[in-house]
Each structure stands twice: as C-alpha cells, then as structure tokens.
Structure 1
C-alpha cells in the first residue's frame, strides 16, 4: 500500500514548493494582462477585417454615386433643353442651376447638423478599457 499525503490548503508551485499569496496574485495579474493584450489583438484583427469589407462596400457606393451623378447631369440637361423649347436656352439653364443650388444648400445644412452629433471617439469602449487597465493594475480592489 502506498502512502499518499493529504493535500494541504496551501498551493504548490511548479517545483513542488509552497507559493506565497503574493506570487499567486502576481501570476494571476500577469495572466489577466496577457489575456487583455490578446483580446486587444483580436479586436484589432476583427477591425482590420471589417475595415476591408467596409472599404469594398465604400467602393461600390462610390460607383453608385458616380452613376447617380451621371443620371443627375443628364436629367439636368434634359430639363434644360425641355425648358429651352418654351424660353431662351440661357434662361432655362439659369433656372435649372438655381434649382440645383437650392438642393445643394438644403443637403449641406442637413449634413452639417448631423455632423455636429458625431462623436470623434468611441466613449464607451475607452471607458471600459480604462476600467480594465485599472483593475489589472490593482486586482484586489
């Protein structure tokens, strides 16, 4: 029959020696810091992947925008020539230009109002990261 010593409540290190509470806290802290670093790297990789997808989608939006621009130019010319049948072509061009100036002014004002509501920083994420970093520095608090 082999003799098995009962487990003691103290923790054993890798070399079989007793580990102090400070060493255990140090190990836990370094593990948490490593975990946080890995999470940040994962987040960076995910952001890069999503940015690539967003870039491709933005290119498609750009193409659609150019096509829409061409439609607007051709419709503008069509409207100008249609008005040119009932008035001088110069006045028709001026009327269509004024119409586009009004549309541009309205879109500018709406865009400016919406831009004022945009936050330049991801506030909630920054606050969470600050809390995580503080906890990692002082895990017992």
Structure 2
C-alpha cells in the first residue's frame, strides 16, 4: 500500500533510506580517515620528540665528560691559587669542590628540565584532535 502523502510512495522512502545510509557510510569513512591521519601525526610527533630527548641526553653526557676533564685541571689550579693567597690547602680544596659542585648541579638541572614529559608530549596532535572533535560535533 502506498501512502498518499508521500510523493513517490514506497520507492521514495527506499531512495531516502539508501541516501541516508550512504551519507552515514561517508561520514564513517571520513572519521576513519581522520583518526588514521591523527595517529600518523601522533607517531611522527613522538618520534621527533624522542630524537630531541636523545639529543638532550647526549648534551648532558657531553657536558659531564667535559666538566670532569676541566674539573681536574681547574680544581688543582684554583686550589694552588688559594694556597698562594694564604688559605690552608684543606680549606682551599673544600672551597673549590663546593664551587664546582654548584656549577655541575646547574648543568644537570638544565638538562633534566629539557627532558620533562611536558616538553615531550605531542601537543600538536592533541590540539588537532580537539579541533577535529569540535568539527565533528558541529557537523552532526
């Protein structure tokens, strides 16, 4: 039986159902494509940030090696200089040791700050996912 209020009868309803299911299929395909794209961006951003972290670790290691080498030479020179000024050798060594420990602490702190998780987080991906979620909400 055909509905007199429907312009095309059962045929029109079937056509609208096919169009609607096609649109739903298109939306699902676009969302799938979007999610895959965001995952690719996420992977690329994490790889980039891990390379930066590796470089930061390399800088920390290089800084420590150079610091240890320079420490031997400079410490003995500073201790000798303080002894020449009349300070006891023991006190001279303590003063120089504390000075070098402070410098080493500052270098290590800088390196550790460069390795914080916040600086390694994929911020661009998170921003894109939020923006994409808002766009999908608006489209629906």
- TM-score under structure 2 normalisation? 0.57
Q: Structure 2 unaligned runs (5+)? A: 1-13
Alignment-derived partner of residue 129 in structure 1: 129
Larger relative contact order (Cα-Cα within 8 Å, sequence gap ≥ 6) = 2
In structure 2, the partner of 1:58 is: 56
Please identify, of 122-131 and 71-80, the stretch whose mean Cα deviation from structure 2 is larger: 122-131
TM-score, normalised on structure 1? 0.57
Q: Are 1:28 and 2:26 counterparts?
A: yes
Alignment correspondent of 1:86? 85
CA RMSD of aligned residues (A): 3.7
1:73 alignment counterpart: 71
For these two proteins, the number of residue pairs brought into alignment is 117
Shift of 1:42: 0.8
The structure in which a higher percent of residues are helix is 2
